Amino acid sequence: DAKTTQPTSMDCAEGRAANLPCNHSTISGNEYVYWYRQIHSQGPQYIIHGLKNNETNEMASLIITEDRKSSTLILPHATLRDTAVYYCIVRVENNDYKLSFGAGTTVTVRA
Amino acid sequence: NAGVTQTPKFRILKIGQSMTLQCTQDMNHNYMYWYRQDPGMGLKLIYYSVGAGITDKGEVPNGYNVSRSTTEDFPLRLELAAPSQTSVYFCASSYLGGYNSPLHFGNGTRLTVT
């Protein structure tokens, strides 16, 4: 049963990099780490995912430790529009379809 | 592509009434999901479907029913609304199982039961 642990909240200065940590110490070898975010009351939005290697796209970078027990989402230049709840999730209970969204990290970007 | 479309956006029900929350996607995704989100909380899976004619329970299925007669549509039915079902409901879809491909979410239906 792969679960994740994230800080409840964090602040970030506009224009600076935001580093969001996530622990997933029980992750299995074939489970991906996914990051989503939810802005205000909209539906969650996919950001990025990875298995072993670090990943980068137009939104963010994902750094996964070599033992895969933790990861960090990096927003390189945070803007006020990045204020949101960020969810780090993996598969639940060896079920291909069920994903567990915990409370996530509330990120507030300040001017 | 419109993506995942949910209707209605808002609804107020009286206790004991019934309603259907509509969800449709135009991405030809096999997998569809219903989540609910209570204030300040994460999302909890209600039901999911891996294809037309196939549905299964998630974490919190009591009080809800679903059907999947087509690939595109995955309606959620509340038969006897209760105050505990006041929540925001999100529908999502994915090409493969949720851990192996990104979920695409609709913008939600905000339901109040009084």
Each residue of B24-80: pLDDT tens digit? 999 999 999 999 999 888 899 999 999 999 999 998 999 999 999 999 999 999 999
Residues 21-60 of A with CB under 8 A from B: 31-32, 34, 36, 41-46, 49
- Phi/psi at B41 (nearest 5 deg)? -115, 170
Pairing verdict, β B87-94 and B109-113: antiparallel
In this complex, is the C-beta atom of A93 within 8 Å of any C-beta atom belonging to chain B? no
B chain contacts of residue A49, beta-carbon cutoff 8 Å: 102
B chain contacts of residue A34, beta-carbon cutoff 8 Å: 99, 102
Question: If we measure between CA atoms, which residue out of A88, A106, A93, A94 comes closest to residue A21?
Answer: A88
Q: Closest to A43 (Cβ–Cβ): which among B98, B100, B105?
A: B105
Rounded to 5°, angle at Cα B2 from A107 and B3: 55
Rounded percentage of chain A residues whose pLDDT exceeds 90: 68
B3, B107 contact by CB (below 8 A): no
